[in-house]
Structure 1
């Protein structure tokens, strides 16, 4: 009988080294970084904008070059606020991987993209990343930047993220649902392989516990490093089924439904988080939120043409019946109110 394959070291998989003071050392050469391309680039231009100098947070704006040509269309484009992945502990908005993804998102979905940075754990534990996510929203709302003013429809905003960025989009969305962000208006969430957890292991986690690329030990490491001290994976930041603060999950989803948001959940059938991603989609659906599920065997990666077609269809599909913001306010704001 053959010996089971050894489980890879999660620190090595993440390219990090744990320091004695609780911080981590990240390998700066693990992923290449690329600059923005403010001059006309094939079909997309991009530029970096400072968000919060106190926290050294930035965002990279992406605009399809077709939007620069008034003869094509003078209509402003939907705005996607994108949060990068990395388990809350690694990566940056300017990595080549995310830069190319956002370039393609802007080009193929015909949207303006704002790709935001956020502070990383364990040096800055949650909710620091959520606070930075809200800062990015306020930056877009108040931005004097010509690209936002001229090309982005800030009354048609979607929060999107990959992995930890999907978790961030979800939590920032819930916390901002009843904040007065006018004239900015959130219309929906796009959760791309979102990172969620819980103390009780779900079936897909047990099935893929020893996955050679995404083992369970890796997601456990991320939660151990990013959650507030003394908290476990059943904390509200990790486990959506517990609700937000004093607000239960049913009430949270009911509030989203009243605002008329729509939600897209994207996941990989062959990875360990798929059951948790399905659970989040089911939470929304049970309370009447319009949900589009895209669960495939390819994780909806940046090379999937059908992924971007699905996202574009979702963004440009008619919105569900929307209650007025004034009526929605009867429930009051929840966490992370800007």
Structure 2
């Protein structure tokens, strides 16, 4: 079997065009957006969803997912774990309402019997990091103080997990760090992080990036472009936002360990970033973090998105993590 050809135009691979002034133009037809299902659905539709505004001034919002059975319960007997899920897209493309993210969150709410909140965040290069982290943290503050009936009646704010795929996994980690160093978030309490194929980087190529340099899903040269567009101007891929194993990374992980959070790091053996994900999990373990490693052979970056069979297997592992963390 011949090796696949390298991706020659990383911008085209991401359905973007780089403009002479350094800005980008995204292809609005690349992905399909779908509406929420806000009305109390029939029992044949197991999950309801709706969109709510988080911050009017910067146009951020979130999509909430709640199992229908919980909404149909006139007197809710038990609140459900809350998973705050951040979507992927290299920090430069994609949105909460894209079909594959919507379907993934919908299935997650059903399979885990949980409330899922999927917040939007501002994209780079128009809004470079840490803007997305600010928005991710802002979403937690919104949830903490929200009068929304779905959140108030059905979300257990004492049992919250931050989760994300790809850039969303990086975002979940960095929002978690900000929360770890923040003042009391009461009544919201984070119990752990679920880093699904997290987007991490570094200046020197790791072995998996070299071996899988011609990956057709998210090759290293595409990742390079994303980091170039989203990191602070002048920063390289060894910045703390992209490489959590450098600088104060070990100290940050010790803080997470002292908080007693459980962390799942999930990756695929055909993802060029697999070695980086393993390195992050290894350092966390060394610094006292309770880490569950879930690395699957043969899976490409984000493999569980769009594949319900793989998603359900992932959710079974997440279910064990969540319900083993219930106080």
State the partner residue of 2:66: 63
Where structure 1 has 5 or more consecutive residues not aligned to the other structure, the ranges are 321-338
State the partner residue of 1:269: 269
Question: Are positions 1:155 and 2:162 aligned together?
Answer: no
State the partner residue of 1:336: none
State the partner residue of 2:177: 174
* Cα separation, partners in 2 of 1:150 and 1:220, compared to 1, 3 Å: same
- Contact (CA 8 Å) 1:110, 1:312: kept in 2 or not? no
Q: Report deviation, 1:226.
A: 0.4
Q: Counterparts of 2:75 and 2:290 in 1: how far apart (Å)?
A: 32
Q: Counterparts of 1:145 and 1:88 in 2: how far apart (Å)?
A: 28
Point out the more displaced range, 78-87 or 285-294: 285-294
Structure 1 residues 300-319: aligned runs within 5 Å: 300-302=303-305, 303=308, 304=310, 305-318=312-325
Structure 1 residues 113-262: aligned runs within 5 Å: 113-179=116-182, 180-243=184-247, 248-262=248-262
Question: Are positions 1:51 and 2:54 aligned together?
Answer: yes
- Contact (CA 8 Å) 2:244, 2:280: kept in 1 or not? yes
Q: Counterparts of 1:318 and 1:124 in 2: how far apart (Å)?
A: 35
Where structure 2 has 5 or more consecutive residues not aligned to the other structure, the ranges are none
Q: Secondary structure at the match of 1:240?
A: coil
Q: Counterparts of 2:75 and 2:317 in 1: how far apart (Å)?
A: 23
State the partner residue of 2:96: 93
Q: Deviations over 1:67-117 (max 9, x none)?
A: 124389611001011100000000000111100000001000111000010
Q: Secondary structure at the match of 1:124?
A: coil
- Contact (CA 8 Å) 1:8, 1:212: kept in 2 or not? no
* Cα separation, partners in 2 of 1:290 and 1:6, compared to 1, 3 Å: closer
- Contact (CA 8 Å) 1:64, 1:107: kept in 2 or not? yes
State the partner residue of 1:32: 32
* Cα separation, partners in 2 of 1:269 and 1:137, compared to 1, 3 Å: same
Point out the more displaced range, 87-96 or 37-46: 37-46
- Contact (CA 8 Å) 2:76, 2:154: kept in 1 or not? no
* Cα separation, partners in 2 of 1:4 and 1:253, compared to 1, 3 Å: closer
Q: Secondary structure at the match of 2:58?
A: coil
Paired residues, number: 315
Q: Counterparts of 1:152 and 1:96 in 2: how far apart (Å)?
A: 24
Q: Counterparts of 2:313 and 2:141 in 1: how far apart (Å)?
A: 32
Structure 1 residues 71-82: aligned runs within 5 Å: 74-82=77-85
